[in-house]
């Protein structure tokens, strides 16, 4: 090893990276990401080192960005990490990403879910992580499905096995109880529920696994827009963790980190 060898963000030899760039073996974006940990685009800097550093793949939040900006960041993600995860994508965002990826990497696999508003792209040959742990994502009703689905996508991309259970709101407890054995098999449970958000507190008293409550902005009147669900989860007399209103990404990421710990402990 050279005495003055320097390493980049992912531990690689920076000189070797520069030599690969000079030889045309890697792109400027990939070289920058290996050395600095991020890749610079016209739409901003993409954190290509987040998964190694934190265990959570970096996602591109489409909300608030123009479709072209979202597409640029998604293709940079694909180029530097082999994967792109886009959240809160409307139809225009999704179309821009699909077009850009189709031009840059026509052999990549693309999963676009209109309900969850996510676009996940894997480069050809990309091997996603795999954990020996299960995250069960429970949704109270149909209106909670987009947030629950976002959490499920993120937990899956971290490597957990994801089991989704829909429409088990507490308006009829039988719908919860007939799924209880299945929910109890989970290593961690994510519960997405709007209105008063009681589902998370009910389940937290019935299962041994950690429960993450995601208040959903479904509901109206006093306590609408997720306020009552948030306060209910924060005031829960059963032990659980609460994330912000509609924060499916955060809940899925936290569940994925717990799944990683479970997998590491096996």
Element (H, E) at 35: helix 28-36
State residue 137 phi and psi, 5-degree precision: -110, 120
How do residues 31-48 score in pLDDT, each as one tens digit? 666 676 777 887 888 888
How do residues 14-32 score in pLDDT, each as one tens digit? 778 676 767 776 676 776 6
Say what the pTM is.
0.89
pLDDT given at position 2: 43
Q: For the stretch 98-114, what's the b/e string if a residue is b when 16 or more beta carbons lie within 10 angstroms of its beta carbon?
A: bebbeebbeebeeebbe
**Domains of the chain: residue spans and CATH:** 14-122 (no CATH), 134-265 (3.40.50.1970)
Q: What's the mean pLDDT in 160-181?
A: 94
pLDDT given at position 31: 65
């Amino acid at each position: 090893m050279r005495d003055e060898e320097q390493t980049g963000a992912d531990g690689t030899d920076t000189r070797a990276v520069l030599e690969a760039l000079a030889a045309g073996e890697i792109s400027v974006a990939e070289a920058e990401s290996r050395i600095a940990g991020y890749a610079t685009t016209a739409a901003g800097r993409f954190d290509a080192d987040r998964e190694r550093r934190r265990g959570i793949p970096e996602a591109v939040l489409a909300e608030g960005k123009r479709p072209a900006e979202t597409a640029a960041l998604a293709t940079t993600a694909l180029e530097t990490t082999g994967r792109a995860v886009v959240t809160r994508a409307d139809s225009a965002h999704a179309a821009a990403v699909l077009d850009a990826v189709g031009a840059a990497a026509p052999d990549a696999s693309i999963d676009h879910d209109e309900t969850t508003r996510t676009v996940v792209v894997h480069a050809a040959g990309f091997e996603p992580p795999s954990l020996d742990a299960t995250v069960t994502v429970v949704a109270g009703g149909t209106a909670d499905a987009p947030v629950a689905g976002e959490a499920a996508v993120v937990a899956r991309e971290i490597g957990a096995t994801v089991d989704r259970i829909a429409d088990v709101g507490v308006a009829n407890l039988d719908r919860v109880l007939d799924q209880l054995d299945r929910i109890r098999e989970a290593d961690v449970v994510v519960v997405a529920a709007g209105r008063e958000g009681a589902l998370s507190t009910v389940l937290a008293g019935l299962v041994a696994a950690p429960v993450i409550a995601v208040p959903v902005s479904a509901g109206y009147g006093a306590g609408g827009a997720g306020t009552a669900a948030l306060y209910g989860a924060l005031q829960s007399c059963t032990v659980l963790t609460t994330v912000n209103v509609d924060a499916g990404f955060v809940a899925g990421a936290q569940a994925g980190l717990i799944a990683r710990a479970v997998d590491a402990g096996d």
